[in-house]
Structure 1
Amino acid sequence: MEKEIVLVVDDEKEIRDLVEIYLVNEGYKVLKASDGLEALQISNDNEVDLVILDIMMPKMDGIEVCMRMRKSKNMPIIMLSAKSQDLDKILGLTTGADDYVVKPFNPLELVARVKSQLRRYKRLNVPKKVDQEVIEVDDLMINTKNHQVKVGNKDVKLTPREFEILELLSSNRGVVFSIEKIYESVWKQDFFESDNTVMVHIRKIREKIEENPRRPRFIKTIWGVGYKVEK
């Protein structure tokens, strides 16, 4: 599974390096910036999943950086600050931040907040199914209104979960869905790394709709990424 990318922005190298150690240990990829302008450049050049953003920085402070990022991006932003006044917290949150951590902080608590924000973000941003009553992929026909599936003239009986997965992939043809995205979109629950539920359902769907499940025509595996139905 592709690693989620966290951008750590702080003018203190020791803090950047400390946070990086803890995040990398949890499986995240970390990018680092020492000031606000560098942070904006990195976020524009990379698909960042979450930003940890210090408020007090040279060249451009975290409040201004947050406001600029929010003009085009909606990934979670966690503010860091040595200030603990309520007004400072309110200012940070009202300019677009999702959470606020006061220095000095416990790195384990920060990692927990990163995980929480990413889970919430992914639940709220699962890809939407295109609103179609009938979806056709070659000789595969999916009627979303009556939950009917046919391959050629043959009726295919799918469980409700199997149908939802097939509908999600088929109504977003060409889009690669990770196992995690499929699970959180269909089951509406947090995904756990060791859960193979989606893989089992994909295998069962293939057994029902594919002539040769080992060489599927419809649901393609993109190794190391996920699954898709081709355009």
Structure 2
Amino acid sequence: MRITLMDANFLKLGDESIMSDEKLLIVEDDMDIRELTALYFKKKGYDVWTAAEGYEALKLVKKEKPQLILLDVMLPGIEGFELCKKIRLYTDVPVLFLSSKRDPVDKVLGLEVGADDFITKPFDLMELEARVRANLRRNSMVLSEPNRKKRVFTYNHLVIDLDSYDVFVRGEKVSLYTKELQLLILLVENQNQVFSAEQLYDLIWGVDSFGDLKTVQVHVSNLRRKIEEDPSKPALIQTVRGFGYKFNVQKKIESH
């Protein structure tokens, strides 16, 4: 498997850093792809760690606490989808799958197990970097905005603590992946406003991401399964046919 960006071109880039203090974990069993990708991001100023298989990757996740993980699907030891589920037990940082699998079912499965993006091989390193930057930026913004502190939204069986970013359904804490949490917060803070799938994708994943609108559909479906009384008949996150989605309330939710 070859990366499409010409090796000679990026090796001539020099040591100019675009970002600093961002820790990246690359989990890839193909040595050429792993080393080439690591070298590219190191030249861009990232602190890069690598692993060739799943168990080694899990150790690095717990020890080094990377801020973003690039994860191959076909891995020895623990395959990528299962590894992603294990990673989510320890961290909510962005996980971007790198895979030669092109079947839409594989992409949906990747998103369902907690990935934030799914990139097919061969990939261009500059495009990959753009996705990495977008996910790091989005993750940083949603978890650090000061105007979201000390607020709790309560509506029927749903409680969202925007200080701790905890979500409770019928008094039980619910585990949400980062993008699911970002999506829920956006919809709750704009109650009854209809967002198209395109708008949600731009706001949550960023206009400089390169995915598709199926990503939004998968995350909405996952979120409904976790917070709705009856996910087959969603009362909170409703589909407005022909337009998009909205968080439906009869009376405006107030924070306290």
* Shorter-normalised TM range: 0.5 to 0.7
For the structure 1 residues 2 and 22, does the alpha-carbon distance in structure 2 shift closer, same or farther, using more than 3 Å as the test?
Answer: closer
What displacement does 1:72 show? 2.4
Residue deviations 1:65-114 (CA, integer Å, cap 9, x gap): 10011122100000011011100000001100000110111111111110
Runs of 4+ in structure 1 deviating by more than 4 angstroms, as ranges, are 127-131
Return the offset for 1:4: 0.6
Aligned-pair CA distance for 1:2: 5.8
Aligned to 2:95: 77
- Aligned with 2:55: secondary structure? helix
Please state if 1:40 is matched with 2:65. Answer: no
1:62–1:31 Cα change, 3 Å: same
Q: 1:24 maps to what in 2? A: 42
| 1:53 maps to 2:55 | no
Could you tell me which residue of structure 1 aligns to residue 119 of structure 2?
101
Structure 2 portions without partners, runs of 5+: 1-18, 151-256
SS in 1 for 2:71: strand
SS in 2 for 1:79: strand
- Aligned counterparts of 1:71 and 1:125: Cα–Cα separation in 2: 18
Aligned residue runs from structure 1 range 77-226, under 5 A: 77-126=95-144, 131=150
3-state SS of the aligned residue for 1:56?
A: coil
SS in 2 for 1:125: helix
Counterpart contact for 1:7–1:33, Cα < 8 Å: yes
Distance 2:145 2:138 in 1: 14
Q: State which drifts further: 16-25 or 44-53.
A: 16-25
TM-score (norm 1): 0.54
State the number of aligned residues.
133
| Amino acid corresponding to residue 28 of structure 1 in structure 2 | Y
Deviations 1:120-161 (A, max 9, x none): 000011165765xxxxxxxxxxxxxxxxxxxxxxxxxxxxxx
Decide whether the 8 Å contact of 1:78 with 1:100 is kept in 2: yes
How far apart, in 1, do the equivalents of 2:86 and 2:145 lie?
Answer: 25
Q: Which amino acid aligns with 2:119?
A: V
Structure 2 length as normaliser, TM-score? 0.49
**Could you tell me how far 1:26 is from its partner in structure 2?**
1.5
Q: Which amino acid aligns with 1:30?
A: V
* % same residue: 38
Per the alignment, residue 8 of structure 1 pairs with: 26
Asked if structure 2 preserves the Cα contact closer than 8 Å seen for 1:82 and 1:103, the reply is: yes
Question: Which letter does structure 2 place at the counterpart of 1:27?
Answer: G
RMSD of equivalent CA atoms: 2.0
